Amino acid sequence: MQTVLIRALAATAILGIVATSSYAAADPWRARPALTPDSPIICRQADLTKVVFDFAQTDTELSGRTNNGHGFSTPVGSDGSVSTTITVPVDGKEFAVDLTGNARARALQVFNKRYSCRFTLTPIQ
């Protein structure tokens, strides 16, 4: 009886360690978009003051959510590179943008092909 109890406690402890390790491996951070100077003038009309990106990163995946509730997930290359298309809220509308850059360095951009608007995602506390 004691052996079964000890094994059950050991299994519970190991599962707790594995779950904690997996959670600790995710590296959460937030970012706000900032228009790059080389973007067309029309891009300055977009009100991005309320747009926030929430990211969680592991060694192999970057997942995120925009403040409009759209979630996304993309693989992280061995060099930290990411590339995917996501939807972001701007002025009550939703726009498809390409998310590219280096997730490990937190050097990401979003680019809207239709208007040629490019935004750097600046990490915030």
Q: Is the pLDDT of residue 86 over 80?
A: yes
Q: Is the pLDDT of residue 20 over 60?
A: no
Q: Tell whether the torsion through CA atoms of 46, 48, 75 and 71 is positive or negative.
A: negative
52, 67 contact by CB (below 8 A): yes
If one counts the domains in the chain, the total is 1
Residue 1 located in a structural domain: no
Q: Average pLDDT over the chain, rounded to whole?
A: 83
**70-85 b/e (C-beta count within 10 Å ≥ 16 → b):** eebebebeeebebeee
Residue 108 located in a structural domain: yes
pLDDT on residue 58? 92
103, 109 contact by CB (below 8 A): no
Residue 117 located in a structural domain: yes
Residue 14 located in a structural domain: no
Q: How confident is the model at residue 25 (pLDDT cuts 50, 70, 90)?
A: low
Residue 19 located in a structural domain: no
Q: Is the pLDDT of residue 79 over 50?
A: yes
Query: Which residues form the domain of 99?
Result: 26-124
What is the tens place of the pLDDT at every residue in 59-76?
899 999 998 888 999 999
Structure tokens at 65: 């959510």
Residue 3 located in a structural domain: no
pLDDT on residue 125? 75
Find all residues with CB under 8 Å of 11, minimum gap 6, and list them.
none
What is the model's pTM?
0.77
Block residue for tokens 């943008």: 97
Residue 4 located in a structural domain: no
Give CA–CA dist 70/50, Å, rounded.
15
pLDDT on residue 7? 47
What is the tens place of the pLDDT at every residue in 28-45?
999 999 999 999 999 999
Residue 15 located in a structural domain: no
